[in-house]
Amino acid sequence: MTTFDERLGSLTEIRAHNPEAVAEAAARRIRRPSLLGAPGRLMIVAADHPARGALAAGDRPLAMADRTELLHRLCVALERPGVDGVLGTPDVIEDLLLLGVLDEKVVIGSMNRGGLAGSAFEIDDRFTAYDPGAITDQGLDGGKMLLRVEDDDPATARTLEACANAVTGLARHGRMAMVEPFISRRVGGRVRNVLTPDAMTRAIAIASGLGATSAYTWLKVPVVEEMERVMAASTLPALLLGGEVSADQDTALAGWRKALALPGVMGLVAGRTMLYPPGDDVAAAVDAAVEVMS
């Protein structure tokens, strides 16, 4: 019987000599019957950052650049009790499929990764990864898209249209559309998200109306001040965004706990804050995040 490290080391060979193994692994995957876990919550580990060129975690500028290390950390996280699934781009999801760790997990495909971090065209966030058809064909449970509204950048209109089309397409296939909305501004040539209650309220209002139906739309939102007022902007189910790695994990956990008590907040999507925590104890970071949802 092969060890995990042996399976991890064989991924490139499988891809080179047996590329059809990806589709076969997707077809074999056992899907769970519902998105929400037994307590009515959803905990998702996010790993779609590298495809946007965002490789930093905390004070480590290239933390997510080592794919083998990232996969190892993802597998540790996915094994922890209370973790429902993963969010990633095709390369990451397909590696996890080949490793056989996605049975009975919620799998969300990341869709628009064209707005590369730090680029001049960042707001022109084209759909360069999954599309609704691929998500359905591979038996994934939904698709995630980032929507940054920059009033002074005409590319915002193209991103709005693309997100709306994706919401409609996913709904036609009965798949979740996870929309992560922000009001954004360019500051010193860099795109920055405006994390005020008023800005997030406006972003949620815009995102909630995308597509021909909102029946399958979920929101992915950061924890900001006045979350009660912010979450009152929509009746759509919402998941909290884990955000950047923080040296003060206790404060982050306290913020999640408070926001999770609000109506409509169904769970958490966290990536770097759990996969690359201070001290590098992935299991402990994941367990702490799961605990705040209980």
- DSSP secondary structure code for residue 64 in this structure: G
Q: Domain 4-292, what fold?
A: TIM Barrel (3.20.20)
Tell me, what amino acid is at 252? Answer: A
Residues of the chain by 3-state class (helix, strand, coil), percent to 5: 40, 20, 40
| pTM exceeds 0.85 for this model | yes
DSSP state of 191: E
Whole-angstrom CA distances from 189 to 41, 43, 204 are 39, 34, 25
CB 185 within 8 A of CB 195: no
So where are the chain's domains? 4-292
Which neighbouring-strand residues pair with 270?
A: 45
Per-residue pLDDT of the chain (294 residues; tens, 9 = 90+): 677 788 888 999 999 999 999 999 999 999 999 999 878 899 999 999 999 999 999 889 999 999 999 999 999 999 999 999 999 999 999 999 999 999 999 999 999 999 999 999 999 999 999 999 999 999 999 999 999 999 999 999 999 999 999 999 999 999 999 999 999 999 998 999 999 999 999 999 999 999 999 999 999 999 999 999 999 999 999 999 987 766 677 888 899 999 999 999 999 999 999 999 999 999 999 999 999 988
What percentage of residues in the chain have a pLDDT greater than 70? 98
> What are 214's two structure tokens?
């909102």
Q: What is the pLDDT of residues 116-148, one digit of tens each?
A: 999 999 999 999 999 999 999 999 999 999 999
Beta bridge partners of 26: none
Q: Whole-angstrom Cα distance, residue 275 to residue 281?
A: 8
